[in-house]
Amino acid sequence: AADEAAYDLSPADISEALSHECLPRLPEDTYSAAHMALDAAHAAYEARFGHVFVIYLGDTAPSETADRVLEAIRSRSANDPDEERAIAADELRRLARGRLGTYLRGAGSCTTSPNAPTSGR
């Protein structure tokens, strides 16, 4: 039902949803160079598309998070804006589905999700 509702979102609704997202947290033992590379790639992405990069990481091992995010952000930065907007909307649906599953299982809040919004990232 959530997926179906998400397909009816207007571009303005998707923009609003994207404005409430942020980059996923990297594991604490991630090298500072990876953080710097990710920050630079995200800045370029956001300058190109005008919104934060979103990606669902529910099936990614924490040790692979930095590599997966960096590869995806670099790859998707080559998309044209309309194509990337569609991909970002799909990723938002995947994030929502994962968060709903977490809530429905009673596993806690989305702050335990690898894509939980955080301040400053």
Residue 116 has pLDDT above 60, yes or no: no
pLDDT at residue 43 above 90?
A: yes
By 3-state DSSP, what share of the chain in percent is helix, strand and coil, each rounded to 5? Answer: 60, 0, 40
For the chain, the average pLDDT equals: 81
pTM: 0.71
pLDDT at residue 44 greater than cutoff 90:
yes
Please state, in angstroms and rounded to a whole number, the distance separating the CA atoms of residues 54 and 23: 7
Q: Where are the domains of the chain?
A: 2-112
> For residue 78, what pLDDT is reported?
96
Cβ atoms within 10 A of the Cβ of 57, count?
A: 21
CATH superfamily, region 2-112: Oxo-4-hydroxy-4-carboxy-5-ureidoimidazoline decarboxylase (1.10.3330.10)
Task: Give the pLDDT band (50/70/90) at residue 10.
Answer: confident
